[in-house]
Structure 1
Amino acid sequence: MSSIVADIKIPDSKLAVGAAELLREHGNDLLWNHSHRVFLFGALQGKSAGVKFDSELLYISELFHDLGLTKHYSSPDKRFEVDGANAARSYLQSQGVSAESIQRVWDAVALHTTIGIAQYKEPEVALIYSGVGYDVMGENFDCLTKDVREQVVTAFPRDNFKHKILPAFLEGFKHKPETTFGNIKADVCALLMPGFQRTNFCDCVLHSPWTE
């Protein structure tokens, strides 16, 4: 792994390397490459916008952002984003990281799919959201040049990512589809899970135990 990609240095502190080792141990190549692209795309957008951010915290957030999809970290009843955030918190606590930094990483991981909120929070939270949006959906695609994109993808290949990531999402939460209520991952269940029925917020209101 190159330590500098598109003029962005990949953090190599003991804390960062330890987090990377957890992703290597419990993730796969799809998540490894995706997570690193997300870090680079987020950092590149932050750099371009002149945003000051903690590169180490951003990197660690990216490493954990999809670990909640893995069997090792997946809970039976929580959103996968929360599982990843909890895993990050446990790791950082074990390393004596400050409560403020831990909370920032927790928020970055937990909110990385939360449209309309994450982009208005602290830089690391906003940039992981931007990095995910760029790699997964091509949001603000032209904010980075073709040359920069190619440098990132050469270092961390997409390898048919478009067609692999949706099944990977489903594999991570097919045992708890109810956790997709109210968030965009319900779309994954609707596409790939036969017989899936979305929970409807209006039904929850109208059929609540209240009489009026």
Structure 2
Amino acid sequence: MFPETPAAAAALTVATRFCSPALLNHSVRSYLWGSMYGATHGIAFDDELFYVSALLHDIGLTEAFDNHRLPFEEAGGRLTWAFGVAAGWPAERAARAAEIIVLHMRDDVSPAADPESHLLQVATSWEVVGRRPEEFPPDARTEMLARYPWLGFGAEVLACFEDQARRKPSSAAAASVVKKDMAGRVAVNPLESHPST
């Protein structure tokens, strides 16, 4: 189910150590939703690269790695670059993981241009605000949330983004909160109100 490489195992260890249980489950679900979407749409992607990026994409929201100046995705991308190099990846591969994490908070990326960034954008926007619900059928939602429970993720991520918005008003997180009605979109997310949550 998950890539069995030293870097993948290390990413899970890091995410488990520093993420809250809700944020950890979100990161694992993001990998699984993205993989499911990729398989359904015939999108070829680098499984290890996508897994590591998914597991660490919100590490910049954690207390240990929050940066007082950089947007969380940029701080997390830089940390993931260091992680990748320390795991023995070439610097270019580590840079790709950092890029994927930064791009997940930017405008949509096409699967042809960057499959891993596209998959992380699709998966995280589904997780956070319920975007593209038609891609993720109710039975898959039930199974996913039974394996990796919600644990109040919607409220937690909204609080994190609101905190980012207060401290970093020019960030993508701030735009999500202020211009894109994140609170309203989180509230009506089908995963937020799923019977399993």
TM-score, scaled to structure 2: 0.82
Q: Which residue of 2 aligns with 1:21?
A: 13
Change (3 A) 1:119 1:112: farther
Q: Does 1:165 align with 2:157?
A: yes
Q: Which residue of 2 aligns with 1:143?
A: 135
Change (3 A) 1:179 1:118: farther
Match of 2:84 among 67, 72, 92: 92
| C-alpha distance in structure 2 between counterparts of 1:64 and 1:118, whole Å | 22
Q: Does 1:177 align with 2:163?
A: no
Identify unmatched segments of 5+ residues in structure 1. Answer: 1-8, 193-212
Pairs within 5 Å for 1:34-45: 34-45=26-37
Q: Does 1:81 align with 2:73?
A: yes
- Matched residue count: 181
Q: After superposition, give the CA deviation of every residue in 1:18-59 in whole Å (9 maximum; x if it has no partner).
A: 111111111111110110111111110001001111111111
Any idea what SS the aligned residue of 2:31 has?
Answer: helix
| Alignment check: 8 A CA contact 1:89 1:105 kept | yes
| Alignment check: 8 A CA contact 2:46 2:116 kept | yes
Any idea what SS the aligned residue of 2:169 has?
Answer: helix
| C-alpha distance in structure 2 between counterparts of 1:98 and 1:133, whole Å | 29
Provide the alpha-carbon RMSD of the alignment: 2.2
Q: Does 1:134 align with 2:126?
A: yes
- Pick the structure with greater CA Rg: 1
| C-alpha distance in structure 1 between counterparts of 2:37 and 2:101, whole Å | 18
Residue 76 of structure 2 aligns with an amino acid whose one-letter code is G
| C-alpha distance in structure 2 between counterparts of 1:76 and 1:164, whole Å | 19
Deviation at residue 164 of structure 1 after TM alignment:
2.7
Deviation at residue 67 of structure 1 after TM alignment:
0.4
Q: Which residue of 2 aligns with 1:113?
A: 105
| C-alpha distance in structure 2 between counterparts of 1:179 and 1:25, whole Å | 30
Any idea what SS the aligned residue of 1:185 has?
Answer: helix
| C-alpha distance in structure 1 between counterparts of 2:112 and 2:103, whole Å | 11
Q: Which residue of 1 aligns with 2:175?
A: 186
Match of 2:95 among 91, 103, 106: 103
Residue 11 of structure 1 aligns with an amino acid whose one-letter code is P
| Alignment check: 8 A CA contact 1:77 1:179 kept | no
Q: Which residue of 2 aligns with 1:53?
A: 45
Q: Does 1:155 align with 2:144?
A: no
| Alignment check: 8 A CA contact 1:111 1:118 kept | no
Change (3 A) 1:163 1:118: farther
Identify unmatched segments of 5+ residues in structure 2. Answer: 183-197
| C-alpha distance in structure 1 between counterparts of 2:156 and 2:119, whole Å | 23
Amino-acid identity (%) = 25
Any idea what SS the aligned residue of 1:124 has?
Answer: helix
Residue 62 of structure 1 aligns with an amino acid whose one-letter code is A
Q: After superposition, give the CA deviation of every residue in 1:54-107 in whole Å (9 maximum; x if it has no partner).
A: 111111001111000112212221111000100100010112212332222111
Deviation at residue 114 of structure 1 after TM alignment:
0.8
Residue 177 of structure 1 aligns with an amino acid whose one-letter code is K
